[in-house]
Amino acid sequence: MLTSVRAASALLAGVLAAGLAVIDAGPAHAADPTTMTSGFYTDPDNSALRWARVNPGDGRAAAIRTSIADTPAARWFGNWSGDIGTATGAYAGRADSYDKLPILVAYNIPDRDICAGHSGGGAGSRAAYDTWIAAFASGIGSRPAVVVLEPDALGHESCMTAGQIAERNAMLKNAIAQFKAKAPHTWVYLDAGNPGWIDAPTMARQLAAAGVSGAHGFALNVSNYVTTDQNTSYGNAVNSALASYGYTKPFVIDTSRNGNGSDGQWCNPAGRRIGTPSRRGGGAEMLLWIKVPGESDGNCGVGAGSSAGQFLPEVAYKMIYGY
């Protein structure tokens, strides 16, 4: 990371010394964190790995460790994370010490999961959230990172009043501004649902209202199962609609559980399969494992009796093989 920063500084100094014009390339957050690192970071405390460590004699453990636990995926941060600045700082700092790029999810907006309720909660007020997200960004600081901002926050507008939507948009705009100011080497992707949820022109309008113009891009299929091809087509359609606002944006796709595509259900459906591991390209700017396969969507489907985020080894094992 330091080598890249020094090289960029030396190049800028050379340009200025030569008397050449410098074109404003935008704010510092435009720096590419993928070029500052040597690949994606694997969370050393992910739920699949914790289970495999505790159950080494289980016949499913080897497959879960190899196919899920050792694959780079996101860590989610919310009101369970303790002091958030300390938590994100420690996580980004550990990744940086290995020259790897961490994927973090900010999931603490007030009235979180307001429609479904399986992951309900979030900060208690707008002021509390503003403080929380500022500390989240400060914790990352100048280290390279990728942040997925508030899954479902826009997709759940149908369950909100106009006043709630306006307040949520203000919080999201402020969050994006905090990352710009405090985490200059972080790419922020505002969540934009999935192709089976909201039509592309409507999502483009919602993204624009929530300030996606200031973010690096938008995220698709978080915690869902829709194929990469379908998400790519949807992302391109969203961008076609965003063009009417004067810009387009890169997008990322959550491929952690989309290997068999979707059967139309979102909450622990049977017969799903893990997808392409985290990588650059693949129809989007990046394909990322944002949801850890095997973590429950809530008390529903093949996860009946579980709570959202709980690791279910049998679900994980079947997802490796697609049954």
What are the tens digits of pLDDT across the range 65-88?
A: 999 999 999 999 999 999 999 999
Nearest 5°: the CA angle 268, 270, 275 is: 85
Q: What is the DSSP letter of 210?
A: T
Q: Give the confidence band of 30 by pLDDT, cuts at 50, 70, 90.
A: low
pLDDT at 5: 39
160: left (phi over 0), alpha (psi -120 to 50) or beta: beta
Pairing relation of β-strands 145-149 and 279-280? unpaired
pLDDT at 26: 37
CA proximity to 314, closest of 72, 74, 118, 68: 68
Distance of CA 244 to the CA centre of its chain: 26
Distances (CA, A) of 2 to 7, 71, 282, 322: 8, 26, 29, 42
Residue type, 127: A
pTM for this prediction? 0.90
The answer to whether residues 107 and 77 touch, using CB atoms and an 8 Å cutoff, is: yes
The residues near 211 (Cβ < 8 Å, ≥ 6 apart) are 169, 172, 173, 176, 177, 190
pLDDT above 50: residue 184: yes
Q: pLDDT tens across 280-321, in order?
A: 999 999 999 999 999 999 999 999 999 999 999 999 999 999
Residue type, 157: E
Nearest 5°: the CA angle 207, 288, 190 is: 15
Other beta carbons less than 10 A from residue 210's beta carbon: 28
The residue length of the chain stands at: 323
**What average pLDDT does the structure give for the chain?**
91
pLDDT at 9: 40
The residues near 66 (Cβ < 8 Å, ≥ 6 apart) are none
Query: What does the alpha-carbon distance between residue 320 and residue 323 come to, in Å, rounded to a whole number?
Result: 8
> Between residues 132 and 11, which one has the greater pLDDT?
132
pLDDT at 121: 87
Pairing relation of β-strands 286-288 and 217-220? unpaired
Q: pLDDT tens across 190-212, in order?
A: 999 999 999 999 999 999 999 99
Catalytic residues, by residue number, are 113, 152, 297
Query: What does the alpha-carbon distance between residue 243 and residue 264 come to, in Å, rounded to a whole number?
Result: 29
Distances (CA, A) of 222 to 31, 55, 81, 136: 24, 28, 20, 20
Q: What is the DSSP letter of 42?
A: P
Residue type, 149: L
CA proximity to 274, closest of 318, 308, 238, 320: 320
Query: What does the alpha-carbon distance between residue 292 and residue 126 come to, in Å, rounded to a whole number?
Result: 29
Instruction: Provide, for the chain, the percentages of residues in helix, strand and coil under a 3-state DSSP scheme, each rounded to the nearest 5.
Output: 40, 10, 45
Q: Which long-range contacts (CB under 8 A, 24 or more apart) does 201-206 make?
A: 201/241, 203/154, 203/238, 203/241, 204/238, 204/239, 204/241, 204/242, 204/244, 204/245, 205/241, 206/154, 206/157
The answer to whether residues 216 and 180 touch, using CB atoms and an 8 Å cutoff, is: no
Q: Give the confidence band of 23 by pLDDT, cuts at 50, 70, 90.
A: very low
Q: Is the dihedral of CA 11, 17, 20, 23 positive or negative?
A: positive
